[in-house]
Chains A and B, each alone.
Chain A
Amino acid sequence: METTAATANTSLAQARAASSRQEQAANRPTSGQYLTFQVTGQTYAMRIAAIKEIIEYGSMTSIPLMPAFIRGVINLRGAVLPVIDLAARMGFARAETSRRTCIVIVEMNHDSEVFEMGVVVDGVSEVLELPAQDLEPPPSFGAKVRSDFIEAMARIRGHFVIVLRLEQVLSIDEVSQLARMDFDAPRAQ
C-alpha cells in the first residue's frame, strides 16, 4: 500500500513535473504581432490574436456593487460589453480618462464559449512584429505586477516591456470570483 502510495505520489509528482514542462514549452514566448499600450504611465504589450478592435473611450455605464477594476458596461453596436479597468486590475488606482484613453475589445475563450469584453488602457501606440529572440520568459519575482499576469518580457528599442498574459489578467473565473467577493463583502458586515 505504502509503496503503491509512494509510487502513486512519485508518479503524481512526475506527472506534475511533466505537465509543468509541457506548460513551460507551451508558454515559451513565440514570435508574433503585439500591440503596445500604456497603463499608469508604463508601456505594456499584448498579443493581437485576442484583440478584435480598439475603440475610443466613450460613454460608460457604471454598475453598482462591483469591484473597482470592473469599470462598467458599454454598448458596442448593440451588444452589452463588460469593461475591465486594467490599471485597477493590476493593483494600481483606476485609470484617469483622457483624450487618448481607449478600450481594447478582446475575445476570451471560457468553457468553449467566447466572451467579448473591453479593457481600458491610457493609450495605444502601435502593432509590432516581435521575433522570438526579443522575447524573454517572465522573471520569477521582482516585477511590479503579479508574475502570473506576465507572458514574457519583450525587448523593444532597448527597453523591456511586459507582455501581459491576457487569459490570466481577464480570467473569467477569477474575475467573477472577485466580483462575487466584492459583492458579498458589504453584506457580511
Chain B
Amino acid sequence: MTPLAERTLQALGLHTAREVHPVGVSHATERVTELSGVWQRQIDATIEHGTVSVDELTKTFAGIERQLAQALELTEQAAKGLKGNGAMSGAVASANARLNDVMAMIQGAVEANHAMLATVTEAVNAVRELHQTAQSVERISQMTTLLSINARIEAARAGEAGQGFSVVADEVRRLAAQSRQESVTIMQRVARIEQVIQQAADSAEAQRERDQDLIARSREDARQILSELGESMGQVMSASDGLCEIGQQTRMSVAMALVSFQYQDRVSQRLTHVRDSVACFAQSLAGGWPDEATLAGLDAQLLASYTMPEEGRTHRNEPEPDQSGDGLMLF
C-alpha cells in the first residue's frame, strides 16, 4: 500500500486496509463515495469562504493603503511647502519683508519730522535775527531821540534864531518816538512768533523722541514675533517629517500584509488539488474498491497536479526547508 493510500485510509478512520472487513465491501465503497462527495463540498466551501474573506480583507487593506498613500502625499506636499522656498517659510520671509517696509516707512516719517524740526530751528534763528533788528531799530530811535533833544537844547541856546530849528528837532523827536513804538510792537510780535515756533520745535523734538522709542519697540516686537513664528514652523516641519516617515513605514507594512494575503491562493490551490484527487478517487470507486495500480495512478496524478514545490514536499512528508533568509515567495 502506498503512503497516500495509507494516509487516505487513516483520514477515513480506517486505520489500515487490512482492517477493512471483506464482508460489505460494496457497502463500504458506497459510503466512501458519499463521504468523498461531502469532503469535496466541504473543501469547496472552505476554499470559497477563505477566498471571499481574504478578498474582502485584501480590498479593505487596499483601501487603507490608498488612503495612506493619499495622506502621505498630502503630508509630503505640506512638508515640501514648509521647506525651502515653500509657502510657509515664504510667508514668514514676506511678513519679515513687509514689516521691514513698515519700519522703513515709520523711519521715513521720523526723518520728515526731523527735517521739519530743522526747518523750525532755522525759523527760530531767523526770528531771533528779526528780534535783533527790531532791537537795533529801537536803539537807533533812542539815539535819534537823544539827538533831537540835544538839537532842541542847542536851538534854545541859539535863542530867537534857533526857534525854527527847535520845531524841526521836535518833529524828529516825534518820529523817533513813533519808530520806537513801532519797534516795540515788532519786538512784541516777534516774541510771540518766537514763542509759538519754540513750542512747535519743542513738540517736534518730543515727538521725535517718542517716534524713536516706538521704532525701537516695534522692531523688537517684530523680531520676536518672527522668531516665535519661525520656531513654531520648525516644530511643524519636523512633525511633518516624522509623519511622512511613519506613514511610509505603515504603507510598507500594509503592502506586506497585502502580499501575505496571497497565502489564500496557495491554500486554495492545495485544497483544489486535494479535492480533485478526492474526486478522482471517488470515480475510481465506481468499479469497486480500486486495486493497487489504480491507487498508484491516483497518487501519481495528484503528484503531477502540484504547481508548488512545497505541495510535493508535503506529499512526500519531507520537512520544509528553512526559508527565513529567502524573503517572500509568491507562487
Contacts and interface: CB of A to CB of B under 8 A. Distances in A.
Interface string A93-105: 0000001101000
Interface residues of A, number: 16
5 closest Cβ pairs, A-B complex: A127-B152, A53-B150, A48-B153, A33-B156, A51-B153
Nearest to A36: B149
24 contacts: A33-B152, A33-B156, A35-B149, A48-B152, A51-B153, A52-B153, A53-B150, A53-B154, A54-B146, A54-B149, A54-B150, A54-B153, A55-B146, A56-B143, A99-B139, A100-B142, A102-B146, A124-B146, A124-B149, A126-B149, A127-B149, A127-B153, A127-B156, A127-B170
B153 A35 contact: yes
A53 B142 contact: no
Contact of A126 (B142, B143, B154, B173): B173
Interface string A39-76: 00000000011011111100000000000000000000
Chain B contact residues (Cβ within 8 angstroms of A): what range? 10 to 19
Given A54-B150, A127-B153, 9 more contacts: A33-B156, A48-B156, A51-B153, A53-B150, A56-B143, A99-B142, A100-B142, A124-B145, A127-B173
Contacts of B153: 35, 48, 51-54, 127
Interface string B117-147: 0000000000000000000000100110110
A53 to B, nearest CB: 5
Contacts of A99: 139, 142
Contacts, number: 35
Contacts of B146: 54-56, 102, 124
Nearest to B177: A126
A100 B173 CA distance: 15
Nearest to A53: B150
Nearest to A127: B152
B219 to A, nearest CB: 55
A43 to B, nearest CB: 15
Contacts of A124: 145-146, 149
A104 to B, nearest CB: 10
B168 to A, nearest CB: 13
Contacts of A100: 142
Nearest to B138: A99
A33 B153 CA distance: 9
Interface in B139-182: 139, 142-143, 145-146, 149-150, 152-154, 156, 170, 173
Contacts of B156: 33, 48-49, 127
Contacts of B149: 35, 54, 124, 126-127
A48 to B, nearest CB: 5
A102 B150 CA distance: 12
Interface in A116-148: 124, 126-127
Contacts of A53: 150, 153-154
Contacts of B170: 127
A48 B156 CA distance: 8
A163 to B, nearest CB: 16
Nearest to B154: A53
A124 B139 CA distance: 14
Contacts of B145: 124
B200 to A, nearest CB: 31
Nearest to B150: A53
Contacts of A49: 156
A33, A49, A127 — most chain B CB neighbours (10 Å): A127
A83 B81 CA distance: 99
